[in-house]
Structure 1
């Protein structure tokens, strides 16, 4: 059963070594993410599962001990999912590498940690089913859900300016902050894809995990630095 969830953005720029001289620009987002992880720790889960968008080579499960790297972003920094010395056969996708970094930064020492890489085009029905399966894993499950909103909020955004982006992001932020399962389930898949909103599928996995429940939600951070929607929220 799902006992808590934290929603965080997943840009590698959250990692100060990657952001370098621009690191201070995401200080508020970093602090909110660490607060959200603290909520997960307070829930005392039996199992923590990090969920994030992933390319074809990194989709599926990643056991505790799987490592990731930020070498693709010019930084010689490796992270490990959880504290186990066992290694998985694949590297973590960037979104779960950021999750692993957050957990290390928060000095996570609670439950075992696993990862799930979700394809961005994954159909809502399959996202919901995946979430239900995760929630059924054990009596007390917590989720660390990584994902960004649209990448089209400004002219300099990765996806350029799209006038639909602000409305999509506002709806997503409301749903995440209110722990509104129905609103997350109703997110427009095609629009999310066109706006390069990498969080849509992981957020709908969260919706599946919380289906039939009435969690309380809190939005800790909402902004669009670099023209990309970043949100931090907690569900308990």
Structure 2
């Protein structure tokens, strides 16, 4: 039992074109990369697909899976909104992967060891496991970014980009949680869960690496 495929995507609400309104075209390249990453999962021979994103707690979500984009400006349902609302990361995962049947949140402040153990457990749930991993990079790349400019952000994001491109689980596992928190990195814990799930050698491809609006977004695929 092992991880055989993964897709890494960010989770800004603006991935939904209706939310972006007049600025929708600015993220067309990002949306196209996310579609390609999700197609990578759809084409893989997977027994179990798990959507993974950060939240305040580490919880395996129960069906029905979905919610609404009302908190971000439009009254649009995603998936099945009749159950407990998904956090933003998993809600965007449900938008990108309609019909997914397994949703797992990881606490944003989970320690690297806890993330590694969770990843190992997820990889052991089926013979061939796929992960859709949602997470943003630093939010401190420009003066207009949510966290304003921090000179450490670019180097941090470059480390993440290289690790995702090279399917370097060790580099992801070594990310500093304290620095990530200071840089408002939403993806640190989910990426470290991915690192824990990837026991064997994998091939990586980085499909997108940019920081529109001062927030770093990465799209990548991993395959065994």
Q: TM-score range by the shorter chain?
A: over 0.9
**Contact 2:10-2:218 at 8 Å conserved across structures:** yes
Task: Show the 5 A alignment for 1:1-236.
Answer: 1-56=2-57, 59-80=58-79, 88=83, 90-104=84-98, 113-211=101-199, 213-236=200-223
State the number of aligned residues. Answer: 222
Q: Which runs of 5+ in 2 are unaligned?
A: none
TM-score by length of 2: 0.95
The alignment partner of 1:113 has SS state of: coil
User: Stretches of 4+ moved more than 2 A in 1?
Assistant: none
Post-superposition Cα deviations, 1:12-69, rounded to whole Å, max 9, x if no partner, equal 111111111111111100000010011101112111111111134xx41123431221
Q: Distance in 2 between matches of 1:179 and 1:167?
A: 18
Shift of 1:102: 0.9
Q: Distance in 2 between matches of 1:67 and 1:98?
A: 9
**Contact 1:63-1:113 at 8 Å conserved across structures:** no
**Contact 2:65-2:94 at 8 Å conserved across structures:** no
Q: Which runs of 5+ in 1 are unaligned?
A: none
Q: Distance in 1 between matches of 2:21 and 2:157?
A: 27
CA 1:79 to 1:131, structure 2 compared with 1: closer, same or farther past 3 Å? same
**Contact 1:2-1:142 at 8 Å conserved across structures:** yes
Post-superposition Cα deviations, 1:198-235, rounded to whole Å, max 9, x if no partner, equal 00000000000002x00000000000000000000000
